[in-house]
Amino acid sequence: MSETTAQTTRPGQTPAVPPSLAELAATLPAGSLLERMGIVLVEATPQRLVATMPVEGNTQVAGILHGGASCVLAETLGSIGAMLHVWPGGTALGTDINATHHRAASSGLVTGVATAISLGRTLCSHEVVISDEAGRRLCTARITNLVRPAAPATTAG
C-alpha cells in the first residue's frame, strides 16, 4: 500500500458504514465552532471531505479571510475525517496542523477539500486545499489526528 493510499479497514475487520451527513450533523454539539463559522459539510467520508465556509464574518481587520478561519476549516475537515475512520464510537484528537496561505479572499464562499494521506490505527493525516469560488487555491493545510477506536464490546459471563 502506498503512503498516499488511505485504508479504512484492516484484514479481518468488517468495514463500518459511515453515517449520512444528517446523522453526522446530529452528533455535533449545538453552538460548536463549526456552526459559528458557518461551515457546511457537503461530503464526508474518511477518505474525502468537502465543506464550504463564508468569508463574511470570518475576516481579519484588513477585510480578508482570516488565516485562523482557514485553519478552523482545515481542522474541522481533518478531525471529522479521522472520527469517521474510527466510527462508530471512536475518538479523534488533533495533534498537529500547519497551513500555507497562498492568496487572499475578501468575499463569497470558500471550499475546503480534505483528502486522506494516511488512515492508520493510531494516526490519521489529511491534506486540505481551500479554494475560492473561482477555484483559485487560497490555502494548503495538513492536519494529523491521534485516533482511538471504540473499545470492543464485552459480554457478561
**Three cell numbers, residue 34:** 463549526
**Three cell numbers, residue 5:** 493510499
Distances (CA, A) of 40 to 5, 37, 54, 59: 26, 9, 9, 17
CA–CA separation, 99 vs 84, rounded Å? 23
Which of 99, 36, 108 lies closest to 71, judged by CA? Answer: 99
- Our measurement of the distance from residue 126's CA atom to the centroid of its chain's CA atoms, rounded to an integer in Å, reads 8
Phi, psi of 94 (to 5 degrees): -65, 135
Rg of the chain over Cα atoms, rounded to whole angstroms, equals 16
Active-site amino acid positions: 75
**Residue owning grid cell 475560492:** 132
CA–CA separation, 56 vs 105, rounded Å? 10
